[in-house]
């Protein structure tokens, strides 16, 4: 059976409590519970290790697959999935099975089980995955690029959509206990799709902004330089020289006038 601490047939409530207890238990350990360490390492060994980009894509994709998953959903997947994926199954094989259009139509339970395996791995080994993602980003800054990551998010959304479609194909949405969870998951996909599309839109706008702002800035700077060359500060300097001369002349004239006035007054007197 799948690697989970949940007993698949436990009622949903019981499963939630079990998950919560496990969470509490893991509070005492720094990375992951030792019980899952081997599982995590086993699964991760199936990830590409000769190419940073491919390795990052796999880890990031897995991380994104865990989004919006709740204990109830995990229980639902355990309940509806009908296949055992072992820890040593190469992750590539798991993904290919999920993406296989024939299997999706003919055996949705198989698709669900494979997705459940990946979601479970994303949840249980989240610290390992986050560590790998951060480490790879530090090694290769290109991996932080928004556009690159948005492609991975879209792939993850596509796979989650396959899961949701598979659940609906077997009418899981009408299940008495798990139905609301399945429907909520489908609704969350719409929100996530909106978010991803908006992020892509923002990335596109940011690119346009960068191009236009840089271009405008350059053009205006050049135009400013050209126009400022028209400015001849000598015009002002020569005006000021003329003003100085006029002022000196005015001073001389006033002095002369003062003397003349004085001599007239005093002469008359």
Partner 1 sequence: MKLNAFALSILSAGVLASGCATTAKGSSQSALMTGSAMQQLKTQAPAGGLLAVIRYPAVVDSAAKDAYRDAYTSSPIGGKISPATADSVEAQNMADSAIVKSNYFALSLYKEMAARLPEHTVLLSPHSVKLADDGSLTSEPITEAESLPSVVTIDFATYSFPDPKKMMNSEPLTFGDLVSPLVTVRTDHRAAVPTQGILLASQPLKSHAVGGNRKTVEKSLAQIEAGNLPTAIPEHDFISFISGDKQSSAPSQGLTLTGNSNAVQSYPVEKLQLNRTAMIQLNGDTQGIADPLKDIFSRPMADRIIDLINDTPVEKAAMMRRASAISQYDPSLAALTFVGSPKADYQSRYNYAQRLLDAERKYLSVQSLRLFDGIHNSEMGAQVRDMLTAEYGVLERRRELARKQNQATALAILGAVAAGASMGSSGSTERRCDRSGRCYEVQRPNYGQRILTETLINASIYAGTQAFAYRGESRAVGDNYLTSIVPALEQQTTVQVDLIDSNETITAIRFEDLREKLQTLYSENQRSLDTIATRCAYAHDGTTKSGTWLGECSGGMAAGSGVGVIRQANGTAIEYYGYTENGQPNGPGYMVVHNPSGSYSLEGNFNGGQANGTMRVSKPGKSDQIRTYKAGQDTGGASGTAKVMSPFDNRLAGS
User: Which residues form the interface with partner 1 (CB under 8 A)?
Assistant: 190-191, 194, 197-198, 201-202, 204-205, 208-209, 212-213, 215-217, 219-221, 223-225, 227-233, 235-237, 239-240, 242-243, 246-247, 250-251, 253-255, 257-259, 261-262, 265-266, 268-269
> Which CB, 21 or 215, lies closer to partner 1?
215
State how far the Cα of 182 lies from the Cα of 174, in Å rounded to an integer: 9
Give the residue with the Cβ less far from partner 1, 138 or 243.
Answer: 243
Query: What distances in angstroms separate CA 256 from CA 250, 268, 269, one per listed residue?
Result: 10, 18, 19
Asked if 6 contacts 19 with a C-beta cutoff of 8 angstroms, the reply is yes
Determine contact, residues 175/228, Cβ cutoff 8 Å: no
In the complex, what is the shortest distance from the CB of residue 201 to partner 1, in angstroms, rounded to a whole number? 5
CB of 268 to partner 1, least distance (A): 8
Nearer to partner 1, 134 or 261 (CB): 261
Indicate the residue among 33 and 196 with the shorter CB distance to partner 1.
Answer: 196
CB of 76 to partner 1, least distance (A): 24
Task: Work out how close the CB of 165 gets to partner 1 at its nearest, in angstroms, rounded to a whole number.
Answer: 20
At 214, is the secondary structure helix, strand, or coil?
Answer: helix
For residue 228, what are the CA distances in angstroms to 217, 218, 219, 223, 239?
A: 16, 15, 14, 8, 19
In whole angstroms, what is the distance from residue 114 CA to residue 1 CA? 11
Cβ nearer to partner 1, comparing 28 with 228: 228
Which residue, 8 or 203, is less far from partner 1 as judged by CB? 203
CB 15 within 8 A of CB 72: yes
CB 163 within 8 A of CB 115: yes
What's the CA gap between 156 and 62, in Å, rounded? 8
CB neighbours of residue 73 within 10 Å: 21
Shortest Å, Cβ 157 to partner 1: 16
Tokens of 8: 């698949």
CB of 203 to partner 1, least distance (A): 11
User: Residue 53 or residue 251: which is nearer to partner 1 going by CB?
Assistant: 251
Shortest distance, position 190 Cβ to partner 1, whole Å: 8
């Amino acid at each position: 059976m799948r690697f989970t601490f949940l007993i698949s047939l436990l009622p949903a409530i019981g499963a939630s409590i079990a998950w919560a207890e496990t969470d509490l238990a893991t509070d005492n350990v720094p990375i992951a519970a030792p019980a899952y360490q081997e599982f995590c390492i086993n699964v991760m060994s199936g990830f590409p290790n000769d190419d940073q980009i491919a390795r990052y894509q796999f880890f990031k994709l897995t991380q994104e697959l865990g989004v919006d998953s709740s204990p109830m959903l995990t229980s639902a997947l355990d309940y509806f999935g009908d296949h055992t994926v072992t820890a040593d199954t190469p992750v590539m094989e798991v993904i290919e099975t999920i993406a296989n259009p024939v299997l999706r139509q003919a055996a949705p339970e198989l698709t669900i089980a494979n997705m459940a395996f990946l979601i479970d791995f994303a949840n249980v080994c989240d610290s390992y995955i986050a560590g790998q993602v951060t480490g790879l980003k530090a090694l290769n800054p290109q991996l932080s690029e928004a556009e690159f990551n948005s492609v991975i998010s879209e792939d993850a959304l596509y796979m989650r959509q396959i899961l949701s479609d598979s659940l609906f194909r077997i009418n899981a949405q009408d299940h008495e206990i798990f139905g609301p969870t399945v429907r909520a998951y489908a609704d969350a996909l719409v929100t996530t799709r909106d978010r991803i599309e908006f992020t892509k839109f923002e990335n596109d706008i940011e690119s346009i902004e960068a191009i236009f702002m840089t271009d405008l800035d350059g053009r205006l700077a050049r135009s400013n330089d050209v126009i400022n060359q028209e400015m001849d500060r000598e015009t002002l300097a020569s005006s000021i020289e003329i003003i100085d001369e006029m002022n000196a002349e005015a001073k001389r004239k006033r002095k002369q006038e003062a003397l003349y006035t004085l001599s007239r007054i005093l002469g008359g007197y």
